Amino acid sequence: MITSKIISNGILRALLTIVVIGIALLFFYKIQSVLIYLVVSLILTLIGHPLLDFFKRRLKFNHVFATIAVLFFFVLIIFGFIMLVVPLILSQGENLSLLNTTAIESNIVQLIKQITIFLEGHHIDSAQVLEQSNITSKLNFNFIPNFLNALLGTISSFGMGLGSVLFITFFFLKDRKIFMLGARKLIPNSHEDQILNSLEKTNHLLSRYFIGLLLQLFIVFLLYLIVLFIFGIPNALIIAFLCAVLNIIPYIGPLIASFLAAILTMLSNLGSDFQSEILPTTIYVLIGFWIVQLIDNNLSQPIIFSKSVSSHPLEIFLVILIAGFLFGILGMIIAVPLYTIIKVIGKEFFPNNQIIRLLTKDI
């Protein structure tokens, strides 16, 4: 029989649960920087494991020196990246007006006027539509300077974060066996083998995935850079880098990169004649970028990703598409790693399921 005491106890337990969850969420919100450090350290650890094995097996380093060598390699890459990108943004940002919202809006207005004159000269009514739509008042140009200012701010305050991430990564790499032994004590004996095998396979596949992702971004960066150099676009390194970073977002990122490249190409040649120089150059750059994206979408990306996570290219495409519909851009970014983890867990815990056997036959 349900009494008032039971009801009141249930209400109190529900309120207590809500309070505990609220406190936990507040706690995680307060330490979000630490959580970000842990996630970045975990990614670096996954990327660093193949390097660690290389130093130990091929170069005969002991475990500690191999770990230090991996961290030194990461530090060289990070500082090389900073030394390359920051001076370029600072020295050439004024030419692109990327850090000045008023200037970039003024340049966009001037560019739209040139486009309008070009359209009117060819008797195209869309020029009147362009003026009536008052597009310059609807576009928010703050996203470009805000993005670069955030990038510079992140790099400038990166000191403490970098030290923390490298410190955590060092112990993730060095004491991996100790962490595994600790995990064994927390894992129920009935599922110990499945969980440990899942962790091992997930670590292996995600290590290959993140290395493949870096390789894909590097290939795209080089191809974008070649296109921009061919057509003599100023600030080619910055534009190629920004567009390559956008490729982290599957399928949508390259479209945004094309739009950004077109805008920055036109702004870089703003003093030239629109019809004879700006428009043809922009079209050529867009064609070059589309060729790069065609190569990336049909060759490098499917091959690298399918090989790294042992999944069919069509399978990866559908997973990213579904994740995008369900969770937006963030879902598209984390879709492949999360799907890989789910596949590994499925194979270990449900090995006799026909669907899981079909999806995990190459793992």
- CB of 170 closer than 8 Å to CB of 45: no
List pLDDT tens digits, range 3-33.
676 777 778 888 888 988 989 888 888 887 7
* 78 within a domain of the structure (yes/no): no
CA distances from 81 to 88, 93, 340 (A): 11, 17, 29
List pLDDT tens digits, range 166-190.
888 898 888 877 777 776 777 676 6
* 343 within a domain of the structure (yes/no): yes
The per-residue pLDDT for 99 is 43
CA distance 247 to 260: 12
Q: Look at residue 327 and tell me whether its pLDDT is greater than 70.
A: yes
Structural domain including 2 reads 1-30
CA distance 308 to 82: 28
List pLDDT tens digits, range 244-267.
888 887 778 888 888 888 888 877
- Which H/E stretch holds residue 249? none
* 152 within a domain of the structure (yes/no): no
2 CB-side CA count, 13 A: 4
The mean predicted confidence, pLDDT, of the chain is 76
List pLDDT tens digits, range 275-320.
677 778 888 889 999 998 888 877 777 677 777 777 777 788 888 8
* 176 within a domain of the structure (yes/no): no
Name the CA dihedral angle for 75, 338, 153, 78, rounded to a multiple of 10 degrees: 10
Tokens of 126: 């869309």
Sign of CA dihedral 171, 335, 75, 31: negative
* 8 within a domain of the structure (yes/no): yes
Q: How far is CA 131 from the centre of its chain?
A: 37
* 294 within a domain of the structure (yes/no): yes
- CB of 264 closer than 8 Å to CB of 235: yes
* Overall number of domains in the chain: 2
SS in 3 state form for 16-48?
Answer: HHHHHHHHHHHHHHHCHHHHHHHHHHHHHHHHH
The per-residue pLDDT for 98 is 45
- CB of 311 closer than 8 Å to CB of 291: no
CA distances from 29 to 22, 152, 157, 208, 326 (A): 10, 24, 19, 31, 24
What SS3 state is found at 338?
Answer: helix
Sign of CA dihedral 176, 28, 345, 215: negative
* 21 within a domain of the structure (yes/no): yes
Identify which of 128, 309, 146 has the alpha carbon closest to the alpha carbon of residue 216: 309
Helices 301-309 and 192-230, interaxial angle, to 10°? 170
* 107 within a domain of the structure (yes/no): no
Rg (CA), the chain: 26
- Which residue is it, tokens 């995600």? 206
